[in-house]
Amino acid sequence: MHLLFLSRPASGHLYPTLRLAEELGERGHHVTFASGDPYLDELAGPGVRLVRFGKHERRLLDMPALAPDAVVADPRTTGAATDLAGTWDVPLVVAGQNLAESPHGWPSEQAPEPYVFTIPGARGKVHNPWRRHGRRPVLLVDGPSIGPLVRAFGDTDWQVVVSDTELPHADVLLTDGRLAAVSAGLRAGVPMVLAPKTAEEIAHADRIAALGVGKVVASLADAHAEDLRRLVEHLRVDEPTLATARRLRELVAEAGAPARAADRIEELLVAPPLARAA
């Protein structure tokens, strides 16, 4: 098959689906990896050609040689990919780094198109990567609604990093329960404190707590500084929680491995065939 991957780089110029594209190229498929990143200069593996489309994905329609048998989008390019797949009358699959449904009961992506979970690769030009300073513990804070909680750690030994990207240095993740954040936390094997607000965030937080790798703060009003610090410190050193997080990290890595994701792509596109994009 000729597969067109449509990608927008994530924060730090990370290409979540490039490793998956390379796996499919190694299997003999012809893969075109198209990105809007003007700095795209990766050396992709055999069978993968890199193409820049600039600011507008529809420029790809002016390249007749690109007409694919199927389009694989990441979540950031799903809208444009649906348009392109419809124009070419080919199937569309979404592949991303948020978790897919599994028998393990973790929060999962609810995508309108067939969805494949893939572990992102550390590829691309990462600008000003953060580094741990000394041996102080690191609290990663992710989510616009939990800014007030950060003040609880102002006079402590904790290094607080406010970010929307996964950091391998984190000892604990403080998040509102968005799927992208909890997916990153499970991928990294990091215990979580969750302060959800929306119904979706509450559902994700409850799942994480049930898995045994996080604790839910009922509301911001209930999150007193002393209690929050005590909870975060407990999760940092609690061996049952850490052991469960490590076990789930292994399961997540297996579920999103390039070979597993490529198997799923082939399964979706070959047997049975997907319905054409609308």
- Of 14-28, 113-127, 185-199, minimum mean pLDDT range: 113-127
Q: 38 is written with which tokens?
A: 């003007």
Tell me the average pLDDT across 25-52.
86
22-26 contact pairs (CB < 8 A, 24+): 22/47, 22/48, 22/258, 23/258, 23/259, 23/261, 23/262, 24/262, 24/265, 24/266
Q: Distance of alpha carbon 154 from its chain centroid, rounded?
A: 29
Q: Which residues contact 225 (CB under 8 A, 6 or more apart)?
A: 151, 152
Task: Say how many CA atoms lie within 13 Å of 94 toward its Cβ.
Answer: 22
CA pair distance 75, 67, nearest whole angstrom: 21
The whole-number pLDDT of residue 90 equals: 95
Confidence of residue 28 (pLDDT cuts 50, 70, 90): very high
Residue 91 reports pLDDT greater than 80 = yes
pLDDT value at position 175?
92
Distance between CA atoms of residues 71 and 83, nearest Å:
10
Tell me the pTM: 0.88
Q: How far apart are CA 2 and CA 29, in angstroms?
A: 6
Mean pLDDT score of the chain, rounded to an integer? 87
How far CA 230 is from CA of 134, 171, 194, in Å, comes to: 22, 14, 14
Q: Check whether 276 has a pLDDT greater than 70.
A: no
SS3 of 200, please?
A: helix
CA within 13 Å, CB half, 231: 22
The domains found in the chain, sorted by start residue, are 2-119+256-270 (3.40.50.2000), 138-254 (3.40.50.2000)
pLDDT at 125: 62
- Give the per-residue pLDDT at 278: 47
- Exposed / middle / buried, residue 27 (Cβ in 10 Å: 0-12, 13-18, 19+): middle
Least confident of 132-141, 171-180, 191-200, 226-235: 132-141
- pLDDT of residue 245 exceeding 90, the answer is yes
Neighbouring C-beta atoms of residue 68, cutoff 10 Å: 22
Among 33-47, 120-134, 148-162, 200-214, which stretch is predicted with the lowest mean pLDDT?
A: 120-134
Percent of the chain with pLDDT over 90: 57
Q: Which residues contact 33 (CB under 8 A, 6 or more apart)?
A: 5, 7, 15, 17, 18, 21, 44, 48, 49, 50, 51
How many other CB atoms sit within 10 Å of the CB of residue 44?
18
Q: Which of 34-38, 175-179, 195-199, 268-272 has the lowest mean pLDDT?
A: 268-272
Dihedral angle at the C-alpha atoms of 143, 164, 117, 123, nearest 10 degrees? 180
Q: Could you give the residue ranges of the DSSP H alpha helices within 44-144?
A: 78-88
